[in-house]
Chain A
């Protein structure tokens, strides 16, 4: 049969965000996939020349609304390194608490969208119901549901008192039990397995060669997680990256499912290590020099390059986000798939287009 080009996106029910894929199709098989980006590009790295380094925190938080806390964490760590600021231990632990709560809600969100991509609407609803409890934690402790805005250069601006710590722990017991009650559905339900097992397989070598990041990389058997770099409070917290070996959509969703449970454990560990040091260190001087910092986002490795010139405005902010790293592996696994599997596989990389295009 002759080749047909089917446009997928930019407005598509399965995608919350606009990305365009030109799918070259023969019969029902995808032969080639050509991604087009640029629908969400705002050019916010350029704003570094118009906003000073403290105001830039509010900008980098809005690179991505789902992992906003982790973007500002990465930026603040870079600035602290450039300015030579030592962050107090309590602030480091609080950063772990909020960044892991963000990972938890992001993974629950993704698992829900993933279930929705193959039409499992009730699982989608269940997962988002659990997620609302995590959003309540964010809202009660920081004042906002999504963009929590807790980081400042030198530490954090919000604190947790004892009753809040107790409440977070109690809520997480609930959340953990609800997530575990869905475990057999997500891992073993025949509908889920038939749509995800053996679909969109990325081998370990291909994942490594194409530079995949995050759960995409760990789902293919490479044990690499930026939290192993022991940034923020991770130097004191017991942490092992979660790895699956199958490399298919099922493995990727399992990595995220297990990471959601792991995040609960990490939040608990961090809450147990809160001490009485202050919230933020005093910051003196103007940023000068170049730094590169890396953190682990829910979607993978996030890299910031910052360049200061002794002025309060930064010369350059360069952000490399995990979805950008995951697009070449996606383009490599799409050919050969059934057309109906494309939404599932596209969603399995957890695309965050607003991160990618900024």
Chain B
């Protein structure tokens, strides 16, 4: 594989978007970056700009207002990209699936590669999801 492809697998840059979550999963995603879990030792860096990101971590339910923002962010990310839906809400709508302003899980709007269950998902589970997703990304890169 070329240098660029290898570094995309070995050091994925990650972007987090809160899409109507209760904060539980967001904070657990952020906790992954801090000393106890410290994903930076795997070369994973949290970035604020979708144009720099390889992995999009989405937490929470989708509503009509943030669906557009989510689509924009997804389309601004360069290919190939990975989407991880974190938490019960991101997977299916969770406890809020019956609420009036909820469309459902993230996969109603953009394609999702890895689903992380849990309310909220634990940092270990989120890290595991990123590693699982990178396996998939590696397959795509090798095929291309």
User: Which residues from chain A sit less than 8 Å from chain B, CB to CB?
Assistant: 10-13, 16-18, 38-44, 46-47, 50, 58-59, 62-66, 68, 109, 112, 124-125, 128-129, 131-132, 135, 145-147, 352, 354
Contacts A62-B24, A62-B95, A66-B23; A129 near B120 (Cβ below 8 A): no
Q: Cα distance A128–B17 when bound, in Å?
A: 20
A60: min CB distance to chain B, Å = 10
* Interface of chain B residues 43 through 102 with chain A (CB within 8 A): 47-50, 60-61, 63, 65-66, 69, 73, 94-96, 98-102
Name the CB-closest residue of B to A44: B99
Query: A interface, by DSSP: helix, strand, loop or mixed?
Result: loop
**CB–CB A66/B96 < 8 A:** no
A314: min CB distance to chain B, Å = 15
Partner of B35, one of A44, A59, A125: A125
**CB–CB A65/B65 < 8 A:** no
Answer yes or no: B106 CB below 8 A from chain A CBs: no
A50: min CB distance to chain B, Å = 5
Partner of A17, one of B23, B48, B49: B23
Contacts of A38 in B (CB 8 A): 65
**CB–CB B31/A42 < 8 A:** no
Which of A46, A63, A65 is the most central at the interface, judged by chain B CB atoms within 10 Å of its CB? A65
B27: min CB distance to chain A, Å = 6
**CB–CB A132/B36 < 8 A:** yes
* A-B contacts besides A40-B66, A50-B98, A125-B34, 6 pairs, CB < 8 Å: A39-B65, A42-B96, A47-B99, A66-B23, A129-B34, A132-B35
Partner of B18, one of A16, A59, A112: A16
Q: Cα distance A11–B72 when bound, in Å?
A: 11
**CB–CB A146/B27 < 8 A:** yes
Closest 10 CB pairs of A and B: A65-B24, A13-B48, A128-B34, A65-B23, A43-B101, A43-B100, A65-B22, A132-B36, A129-B35, A62-B22
Answer yes or no: B131 CB below 8 A from chain A CBs: no
Partner of B24, one of A41, A68, A128: A68
**CB–CB B23/A43 < 8 A:** no
**CB–CB A128/B31 < 8 A:** yes
User: Which residues from chain B sit less than 8 Å from chain A, CB to CB?
Assistant: 16-28, 30-31, 34-36, 47-50, 60-61, 63, 65-66, 69, 73, 94-96, 98-102, 119-120, 122
**CB–CB A16/B23 < 8 A:** yes
Contacts of B102 in A (CB 8 A): 42-43
Contacts A44-B99, A109-B27; A147 near B119 (Cβ below 8 A): yes
A107: min CB distance to chain B, Å = 13
Q: Cα distance A44–B66 when bound, in Å?
A: 17
Contacts A11-B17, A12-B48, A16-B30; A65 near B95 (Cβ below 8 A): no
Can you sample 25 A-B contacts with CB below 8 Å? A11-B17, A11-B48, A11-B50, A12-B48, A16-B18, A17-B23, A18-B18, A39-B66, A40-B21, A40-B60, A41-B63, A42-B20, A42-B99, A43-B101, A44-B96, A47-B99, A58-B95, A62-B24, A62-B94, A64-B22, A65-B23, A125-B35, A145-B122, A147-B24, A354-B22
**CB–CB A354/B34 < 8 A:** no
**CB–CB A41/B101 < 8 A:** yes
Q: Cα distance A285–B101 when bound, in Å?
A: 32
Contacts of A40 in B (CB 8 A): 18, 20-21, 60, 63, 66
**CB–CB A10/B99 < 8 A:** no
Contacts A43-B102, A145-B122; A63 near B66 (Cβ below 8 A): no
**CB–CB B20/A65 < 8 A:** no
Q: Cα distance A16–B59 when bound, in Å?
A: 11
Q: Cα distance A17–B30 when bound, in Å?
A: 12
**CB–CB A16/B98 < 8 A:** no
Contacts of A42 in B (CB 8 A): 20, 61, 63, 96, 99, 101-102
Contacts of B63 in A (CB 8 A): 39-42
**CB–CB B96/A62 < 8 A:** yes
Q: Cα distance A162–B46 when bound, in Å?
A: 41
**CB–CB A16/B26 < 8 A:** yes
Q: Cα distance A62–B27 when bound, in Å?
A: 13
Partner of A11, one of B65, B73, B99, B122: B73
B74: min CB distance to chain A, Å = 11
**CB–CB B120/A146 < 8 A:** yes
A343: min CB distance to chain B, Å = 11
Contacts of B100 in A (CB 8 A): 43, 46
Name the CB-closest residue of B to A71: B22
